[in-house]
Chains A and B, each alone.
Chain A
Amino acid sequence: MISGGLDSMLATRVIQEQGIHVEGINFFTGFCVEGHTHAIRRQDQKKQKRNNALWVAEQLGIKLHIIDVIEEYKDIVINPKHGYGSNLNPCLDCKGFMVKKAHEWAVENGFDFIITGEVVGQRPMSQRRDTMPVIARESGANDLLVRPLSAKILPPTLPEREGWIDREALFDFNGRGRRPQIALAERYGLHDYAQPAGGCCFLTDAQYSAKLADLWQARGNREYEFDDIMLLKVGRHLRPDPGFKVIIGREEGENHYLEGYRKRFTHLFSPSHPGPFALIDGIAGPEEEETAARLVARFGKGRDADRVAVEIHSVDGRDRTIEVVPLSDAEIPQDWYL
């Protein structure tokens, strides 16, 4: 399993050193931290946008299969049996799910066992001495799940017992420290690798989790669609009322991305002053639409103007243009910002 980080890169390399053919698998849940926001934001477009998992696979000289698990993953986020970490990250259930999917894929494609870059004690929830066996068991992979970086301090797996791989050449990394990994990378001559802060997905991000929690609360259930979770990555989100929120583009790239949703959301923009493109998520009558229009005016170039024209295009086909006074900062309560 290739995440794009250093640990799974090293784990793969360790097994390749034993002359074993390895292919990579990577799961796309919709929450993964990839180049999305960079791809959307125009000012970020010059930044490196490479997909780390693909890049790692290329460095290792292995094939990489990226699997779309967006639909199936919903149940993991909505009903995690083992609960959440410090934000809405269901790490333990997530790891179990991914290893299960990897195991199924391995069986279907004629592979003998699974390798992950997990290290005992590295992560507070999913990589603890007591939770790593839970992943092996609940995923159904059992002793076909090999963690080469910590193998020597874990019970021998089937590939080790059968001599398919040499346990002696595996490692005993333990704890949060990164020094052994960095030394091993050095030994293999790997110098350029991603060092993910926090976790591998947006669910470990406090602000993102707060926006997801808000979405669930506003809808009265804990469902979500792929577009919902993508939109949580874009723009300013302000909720003036429990019934609706306004998603306001922060720059040209985000405006352009939000425009892609114009057939599915009531949307607004100003024809009189340059400024954001915005979507209304929820139910909004004329009064709420006016509040949204005043917000659009506030975040545009007409923020100091007396009146700003705002076009409102409803999903049901009603189009109108109204003139509004931009909201002042003092008129926007802090708790509108999600």
Chain B
Amino acid sequence: MSHQTLDVRGQLCPIPVIRCQSRIGGMSEGETLEVLCTDPGTLHDIPAWCRIHGHKVLETTEENREIRIVIEVGA
């Protein structure tokens, strides 16, 4: 299973969500995407986007203004 990384640090919402959406569009079920961001809005928006599209947030960490969200692509 492939694991990809998406760096959207410095970008403000909804750009991180849009980038996430297009990256996941090219991935398959079960693969994981690690998103690195800095906008605190992503803590809310990326999980919300994942819920409505059936993807799963596996992990969220926040350290020194840096946010890391790991997503498992759904069906």
Contacts and interface: CB of A to CB of B under 8 A. Distances in A.
Nearest to B44: A50
A60 B40 CA distance: 25
Interface of chain A, helix or strand or loop or mixed? mixed
Interface string A109-145: 0000000000000000000000000000000000000
Given A50-B44, A50-B45, A51-B45, A62 B52 contact: yes
Contacts of B48: 50-51, 54-55, 58
Q: Residue among B10, B52, B53, B65 with the most chain A CB within 10 A?
A: B52
A200 interface: no
Q: Residue among B12, B14, B18, B21 with the most chain A CB within 10 A?
A: B14
B52 A39 contact: no
A65 interface: yes
A294 B53 CA distance: 52
Interface of chain B, helix or strand or loop or mixed? helix
B52 A51 contact: no
A58 B44 CA distance: 12
A305 to B, nearest CB: 30
Interface string A251-287: 0000010001000000000000000000000000000
A260 B14 contact: no
B49 A54 contact: yes
Nearest to B9: A260
A260 B12 CA distance: 12
3 smallest CB-CB distances across A and B, nearest first, come from: A49-B41, A35-B41, A54-B48
